[in-house]
Structure 1
Amino acid sequence: MRKVLSAKLHGIHVTETNLYYPGSVALDPGRCHEAGILPTEFVETWNKKSGARISTYVILGVRGSRCCVLNGAAARICQVGDQLIACSSSFLDEQKIVELRPKSRPFDRSNQTEHLTYSVSSEAAGDFAPHNRTEVVDAMGVQ
């Protein structure tokens, strides 16, 4: 079994921090659904500005708000406006990698997103070849 990327929110901007809330990262439920991230799922979170890295779990914020709220100790790693990368992972057998389609959501300054899907194919020699596909801009229709 290998640990692989399941979903990625790339460059999502922090909209709020709350040091005295008991932990987690609150995310717009629509963004979680698009990426395939579940409530209470653990995500690795990396701050692009400071380089700080933490592991925390997801709670759902307000749908349509485009929120990214770092709570509790996680609030110490960022400031409002910082860009984060949040990734979830799963374990699978190496042979199953060609069936995996992790979703990546790149974000702009206002936390609108495009849909990017990763995939891997198996070459004749047994090597793997990665592929990306951009699908649609902001399917939520949030302005």
Structure 2
Amino acid sequence: MYRKFLRSKIHRATVTQADVDYEGSLTIPPNLLQAADIRPYEAVHVWNVTRGTRVETYAITGVEGSTDICANGAAAHLIQPGDIIIIATFAFVAEAEEMPAVEPRVVFVDAGNKMVQLDTEVAGPLRRAAIERAADCC
């Protein structure tokens, strides 16, 4: 049996652009894709913290050095500039073989989409303490 697990996420990114006329996808800066281990054209879930909407699309690589995150195509109806989003990927894991190895990679960004911390998933109130301990990593 396989189970679906969180593999990685970019936490609380700020959308800088939305283009409903583009074919579709979510443009993400290359350094954030690499930090979150998201490949170009890989499926991503986008959870809009601002509006409460969710959409699945795919990642495309943005411009090197940019901090732009752009919702493209139909997703641009649900995701607008200024919205705070969480971008997540999942993996199907064989229950008996690989489950102990599941440890999501979490990329934390500031309001300008610059990476401030690379960590694993930490439950609720423990997150604040972890952030305060990690002065600056990146």
Q: TM class, shorter-chain normalised?
A: 0.7 to 0.9
Task: Answer yes or no: is 1:85 the counterpart of 2:90.
Answer: no
Structure 2-normalised TM-score?
0.84
Query: Where does structure 2 lack aligned partners over 5 or more consecutive residues?
Result: none
Moved over 3 A (4+): 131-138
What's the offset of the Cα at 1:78? 1.9
| 2:35 aligned counterpart, secondary structure | helix
Cα pair distance change 1:80/1:90, threshold 3 Å: same
Instruction: Find the counterpart in structure 2 of residue 111 from structure 1.
Output: 113
Greater shift after overlay, 109-118 or 83-92?
109-118
Higher RCO, 1 vs 2 (CA within 8 Å, ≥6 residues apart): 2
Distance 1:136 1:24, change over 3 A: farther
Counterpart-to-counterpart distance in 2, 1:137 and 1:42: 30
Taking every aligned residue pair, what percent have the same amino acid on both sides? Answer: 33
TM-superposed CA distance for 1:27, in Å, is 0.3
Aligned residues of 1:115 and 1:136 also touching (Cα < 8 A): no
Structure 2 residue 50 is matched with structure 1 residue 52: no
- Give the counterpart of 1:97 among 96, 99, 115: 99
Amino acid paired to 1:8: K
User: 2:87 is paired with a residue of what secondary structure?
Assistant: strand
1:56-107: CA deviations, max 9, x gaps? 0001011221221000001111221110011000100234222123211122
For these two proteins, the number of residue pairs brought into alignment is 128
Which has the larger helix fraction? Answer: 2
Separation (CA, whole Å) in 1 of partners of 2:17 and 2:81? 5
Aligned to 2:65: 64
Question: Which residues of structure 1 form unaligned runs of 5+?
Answer: 120-130
Alpha-carbon distance, 1:24 to partner: 0.2
